[in-house]
Amino acid sequence: MKKVLLLCLASTLLLANNVSADLLFYDEFTSGARAGILKEVTFTSGTAVFGSHFSGIEYSPSLVPAQGTLEIRLRIDQAGSINGGSFNPGSMILDSAGADGRSAGDIAMQLWGSGLVSFTLAPVGGYNPADQIQVMSTSSMLDGLYHTISISYGSQGIMLAIDGAIEATNPYNGLRNMTRPVTIGDFTDRGFPDSLYGFSFIGEVDRIRISDSLYPIIDPTPVPEPGSLTLLISGILGLAVARRLKK
């Protein structure tokens, strides 16, 4: 029975560490945004609505680590277009450069015409991220449903997970350029008029989580508050003690 208690406690503490100890930023978009520069984004009681190809939330470079994991849960209704025109197969979900010149360490998560998602951590500067794709999903995001996309990058390579299932890996172990902000949706371009170039998907974002852990945060459940975590530990220990008394 002692082994059961120790295993329960160890598993609980491991869960707590994986979910919350390395968490740098978390937002459920409850009637607003906790951080970031907003552009054409509105809010429901629990989602951020990206209603145009120019919608975006830009986060400070300090919120996104040089290596770690980004997780975004969202529903994508439509891919982006340029100047309201024809379909643009490279709509941006996450970006760190916009239409301006690309530098080594820039990141880009793109949505393609097939509904698949790709990720690039630029090994060198000066190239479109579409020419440097390192991982690509096998699942389509264009099905009208919410999906959780997790990307882990850094010294242990790149790993892409969709809804808790790892779909692609790459051994490239570069680090993110920490001078660059990171945007959900359209970037506030530095060298091109925003009125002419919009790269965002259209849809809703349920939450974003950013961690400095080098594995995907693939648990789709909300992050437990400290009080909830205490209750979880107490519940597991109580169950173990009850089982022992029953014997």
* Domain hosting residue 109, numbered range: 29-221
**122 pLDDT band (50/70/90 cuts)?**
very high
CA neighbor of 191 nearest in space, from 58, 57, 90, 101: 101
Mark whether 52 and 94 lie in a shared domain.
Answer: yes
CATH number of the domain residue 171 falls in:
2.60.120.200
pLDDT of residue 199: 83
**Beta-carbon contacts of residue 31 (< 8 Å; ≥ 6 apart):** 43, 44, 45, 46
Number of domains in the chain: 2
pLDDT of residue 12: 37
Mark whether 82 and 180 lie in a shared domain.
Answer: yes
**157 pLDDT band (50/70/90 cuts)?**
very high
Instruction: Kindly report the length of the chain.
Output: 247
Mark whether 177 and 240 lie in a shared domain.
Answer: no
**Dihedral sign of CA atoms 49, 62, 174, 152 in order:** negative
Query: Is residue 236 within a helix (H) or strand (E), and if so which, with residue range?
Result: helix 226-246
Mark whether 229 and 116 lie in a shared domain.
Answer: no
Mark whether 12 and 37 lie in a shared domain.
Answer: no
Mark whether 116 and 234 lie in a shared domain.
Answer: no
Mark whether 127 and 242 lie in a shared domain.
Answer: no
Mark whether 132 and 82 lie in a shared domain.
Answer: yes
CA neighbor of 57 nearest in space, from 216, 205, 194: 205
pLDDT of residue 237: 46
Q: Report the 10 Å Cβ neighbour count for 51.
A: 15
- Find where tokens 């519940």 sit: 235
Mark whether 82 and 13 lie in a shared domain.
Answer: no
Q: Which of 81-90, 180-189, 225-234 has the highest mean pLDDT?
A: 180-189
CA neighbor of 197 nearest in space, from 109, 98, 131: 98
Rounded CA separation 119/124 (Å)? 15
> Helix, strand, coil: what percent of the chain each, to 5?
20, 35, 50
Mark whether 111 and 73 lie in a shared domain.
Answer: yes
pLDDT of residue 145: 96
CA neighbor of 208 nearest in space, from 96, 48, 80, 20: 48
Mark whether 104 and 69 lie in a shared domain.
Answer: yes
Mark whether 169 and 233 lie in a shared domain.
Answer: no
Sheet holding 56-59, edge to edge: 37-39, 56-59, 182-185, 91-95, 107-111, 117-121, 135-136
CA neighbor of 88 nearest in space, from 97, 78, 80, 99: 80
Question: Taking a C-beta distance cutoff of 8 angstroms, is the pair 27, 227 a contact?
Answer: no
- For 21-43, the pLDDT digits (tens) are 489 999 999 999 999 999 999 99
